Chains A and B, each alone.
Chain A
Amino acid sequence: MLFKLSLKNIARSIKDYTIYFFTLILGVAIFYIFNAIESQTVMMKVSASTYEIIDLMNSMLSGVSVFVAFILGFLIIYANRFLMKRRNKEFGIYLTLGMSKRKISLILFFETLIVGCISLVVGLVIGTVLSQVMSLLVANMFEAKMTEFEFVFSSSACVKTLIYFSVMYILVMIFNTYNVSRCKLIDLFNANKKSEKIKMKNPWICIIIFIISTCILGYAYWCVTGGITELQTADKILIPIALGTISTFFIFWSLSGLLLKIFMSIKNIYYKGLNSFTLRQFSSKINTTVFSMTIICLMLFFTICVLSSAISIRNSMTSNLETMVPADIQLDKKMDLPTDSGYSEGIIADSKISVSETLNKLGFNIDKYFKDIIEFNLYASNDILVRDTLGDSYRQIEKQFPYLDYDAAETFIKMSDYNKLAKLYGLDKVHLNSNEYAVVADFDSWINIRNESLQRKTPITINGITLTPKYDECMNGFVYMTSSHINTGIFVVPDDILNNMPRESGILVANYKANTDEEKQKIENIIINLDNSSYAPNTDIEASTKISLYEGSIGLGAMITFIGLYLGIIFLIASAAILALKELSESTDNKERFSMLRKIGTDEQVLNKALFRQIGIFFMFPLILAIIHSIFGIKFCAYLLETFGKDELIKSIIVTAGVIVFIYGGYFLITYLCSKNIIKEK
């Protein structure tokens, strides 16, 4: 009997449940898709190092899934609360008829069970279909070769989805039971008779608060763009975030009152058609929903930033590698290790010989596999520290950046070595007189720091010889091949000056003697196998190769893209669903209002237009502010990641806009159609 009642309840209120169903199904589908990536990656033919990255990605995705489950859980409970509110009268009737609270809880239990089962089944089916498209994307991202299309169903992802969502539904059931047990009959009947007081805010206070919060927001924007060099530690970023959040709240708070005042004073607009009605609808609700508007705005902001950064990061990472990894291989090891350094005797002995000698001992034939070989040393001495090279600007810089390591030894390279390397790398060569030095760097904030002291012509003294800077700024350049700009500065000095300086590390850069990718891979494999050589324990030599850097970068980019997509889409769904549910929950009030308007003779098209505008304004308001936030947010991300090209960013912004239009717009449309249905005269 109760089960039948539950079924009928769902069938009857299917219109109210549309958004709820839609959100649940979408949530289930997305949860499945991203967890199914694991089984798709297993099928791909990729190299071992890519496998490692994929492994990392999969474990990160499942970690993120826990977080996502929390968001979805909150969303479902929130949505459920809205639906329950609409049915207070119904529960009141059950109670007056003498039904026990336990039985009402049971009805709700069955309802949740039915809704849960249907949404899980439909969501999993949709998820399975969409994840086939996803597998193409995955293969493309990892540049894996798909031999043939294969239909993949991930049972582990399916089980995981079932477990996670079951837990969420059980929470909803507990929540419902708790709510029913707490409710009083009189409250249930009076639930609809609310007399909300509409307080008009003082326009002057609104204006003042609006101006203040705009200024605060402007300052927060400046912090993450113009004043970005001030943000040296991670905790400092919290200040603009907090300021932005607070000012967002107060902008919504003041703007609602302000806009109404402005429009009200323009009588020709305010008293035209249903404009006064629409505006009042808007302002009567925004008074109570400023808080959720703020949350939605921030969530949208997060979505836009994450999506656009994540999508562009992979492509820009790989395109950067072309200039940053110009040679096939770079081998390096520490040199001249002191006997008390804690390393084994073998390694300390090995640190006295050159890289090529070590390779020989490992049984590697350099001449057979390598060409364009450059071998050189980097030098460092505790006599010349960072604080010394900063000279007079040290005090000022230390105040600005108190956490940098000023006691680290500076690194030096012989001019002739650097110029050979520069030729191979395609960098600018350095020409110095016997009493000059130059600094090469590519880490932006360090370039700024070093330029300070270079402009002051700060001299440095090595072995009693004083050198002055040749240029008043750092030269763009690097020695180590990496996938990002992390060269904090290497000093290029005339060759003979370094003769008595201890060697810090020995480096060998070369290209493979190979013409095809297969041949290169063969040499790469030989190098990887050197680990098994009997001499291997006696050396700490390390290799960075073009192939491994590319694979790592591709994998890392893909990983960030997937996690970004996952989080971005979930946040987008959450914010759109909250808005939609809020709007729909008002529809009972709206129904009476619209039917009154209809009675006094308003045309149906005019009514629909008013409804469309009302919902449109509600969806647009947080989005517009979120977009403005994002302009600065993306700039900040671009600075942080230092990897964006303009073209990449535009492409990713277009994709992001597409995703937002599709999901957010979809929610808007469904909300409009559902509301239209609710206010329709039966």
Chain B
Amino acid sequence: MENILKINKVEKYYGSRSSLTKAIDNISFEVNKGEFVAIMGASGSGKTTLLNCISTIDKVTSGHIFVDGEDITKLRGNNLNKFRREELGFIFQDFNLLDTLTAYENIVLALSIQNVKASEIDRRINKVAKELDIKDVLKKYPYQMSGGQKQRVASARAIITNPKLVLADEPTGALDSKSAKMLLERFDYLNKELDATILMVTHDAFTASYATRVIFIKDGKIFNELHKGADSRKEFFDKIIDVVTLLGGDLNDAL
């Protein structure tokens, strides 16, 4: 299967030589096209640092990250921005929508900074709005929307550019359970029907159970890995809980 993301011996250190913190300690894994991968770990395990490195917001100390065969740790300056806007889609925990723009305009922004023609914009937005069930809120401002609606608008912004990889950082973190479920079902739809590759960071077992594969991280290292395979979501969820129990510590509290 085609390899979209390849992480090769990535390390990320913080601090000085005397007090070194290894946020990521020699992690390697691959994500194939069409996969929906969740990365789980307690707070401080290094999962968000890993996501920041993949999204080029942060820089690795050593190792390489390949997206579609291109080594993104070698990108500099405007090439980084170009990579981000053309190859990646972002979904953040706190939505990161611009409060001065309507939902429609927020989504357009992702296209307009790629200089997509105005005539094409409308067609693409209508399509993605239908897929994410946000047609009714397109004209609203963020403050007029619920958390779930905001996150689906943010998701629309992330996938409208047809990115190779969608990165989601605790996408359900600020949502109530009903909205979270609805959002995750949309993710599932995007993944299955549109073949979107999604990499999601979460500490919530329920959220992770929607993925096709879960990677557990502890103290900057890969601790375990689960494949959904032919399991139902409920069975997969139980398996995740088992690993979480094994991991112990904070992660239990997070449930």
Contact = CB atoms under 8 A, between A and B. Distances in A.
Interface of A: 195-198, 267-268, 270-277, 280-281, 283-284, 593, 596-606
Given A271-B121, A284-B100, A596-B96, A601 B112 contact: no
Interface string B69-88: 00000000110011111101
Contacts of B194: none
A602 B113 contact: yes
Given A601-B81, A601-B82, A277 B118 contact: no
Interface in B69-128: 77-78, 81-86, 88, 90, 92, 96, 98-101, 105, 108-113, 115, 118-119, 121
Interface residues of B, number: 32
A443 B84 CA distance: 74
Given A284-B100, A600-B85, A606 B105 contact: no
A599 B169 CA distance: 13
B141 interface: yes
Interface centre among A197, A283, A596 (most CB of B within 10 A): A596
Consensus secondary structure, chain B interface = helix
Contacts of A601: 81-86, 88, 113
* Nearest 7 pairs of A and B residues by beta carbon: A601-B85, A601-B84, A280-B100, A267-B118, A284-B100, A271-B118, A596-B96
A276 B116 CA distance: 14
A280 B141 CA distance: 12
Considering residues A276, A280, A598, A606, which has the most beta carbons from chain B within 10 angstroms of its beta carbon? A276
Nearest to B101: A280
A273 B113 contact: yes
Interface of B: 55, 57, 77-78, 81-86, 88, 90, 92, 96, 98-101, 105, 108-113, 115, 118-119, 121, 141, 143, 157
Contact of B100 (A275, A281, A602, A603): A281
B113 A276 contact: no
22 contacts: A197-B143, A198-B99, A267-B119, A270-B118, A271-B108, A272-B112, A274-B109, A274-B113, A275-B112, A276-B109, A277-B101, A280-B98, A284-B100, A597-B109, A597-B113, A599-B90, A600-B85, A600-B109, A600-B110, A601-B85, A601-B88, A604-B78
Given A284-B100, A593-B98, 17 more contacts: A195-B99, A198-B99, A198-B100, A267-B121, A268-B118, A271-B118, A272-B112, A272-B115, A272-B118, A276-B105, A276-B108, A281-B100, A283-B100, A598-B81, A600-B84, A603-B78, A604-B78
A277 B111 CA distance: 13
Given A271-B121, A272-B115, A602 B98 contact: no
Contacts of B112: 271-276
A599 to B, nearest CB: 6
Nearest to A602: B113
Contacts of A274: 109, 112-113
B115 A273 contact: yes
A600 B78 contact: no
A544 B121 CA distance: 80
A273 B85 CA distance: 12
B236 to A, nearest CB: 31
Contacts of A600: 84-85, 90, 109-110, 113, 157
B98 to A, nearest CB: 6
Nearest to A284: B100
A604 B109 CA distance: 15
A604 B83 CA distance: 14
Contacts of B143: 195, 197
Contacts of B101: 276-277, 280
Nearest to A198: B141
A195 B142 CA distance: 10
Nearest to B142: A195
A599 B84 contact: yes
A540 to B, nearest CB: 75
B95 to A, nearest CB: 10
A600 B81 CA distance: 8
Given A267-B118, A601-B83, A602-B113, A280 B105 contact: yes
A198 B119 CA distance: 27
Nearest to A269: B118
Nearest to A601: B85
Contacts of B55: 599
A634 to B, nearest CB: 38
Contacts of B81: 598, 601-604
A601 B71 CA distance: 17
A297 to B, nearest CB: 24
Contacts of A271: 108, 111-112, 118, 121
Nearest to A598: B81
Contacts of A270: 118
A198 B143 CA distance: 9
A151 to B, nearest CB: 52
Nearest to B88: A601
A231 to B, nearest CB: 45
A195 B150 CA distance: 15
A599 B113 contact: no
- Looking at A195, A271, A593, A598, which has the most chain B CB atoms within 10 Å of its CB? A271
Nearest to A285: B100
A593 B101 CA distance: 11
Nearest to B110: A600
B106 to A, nearest CB: 9
Contacts of A268: 118
Contacts of A196: 99
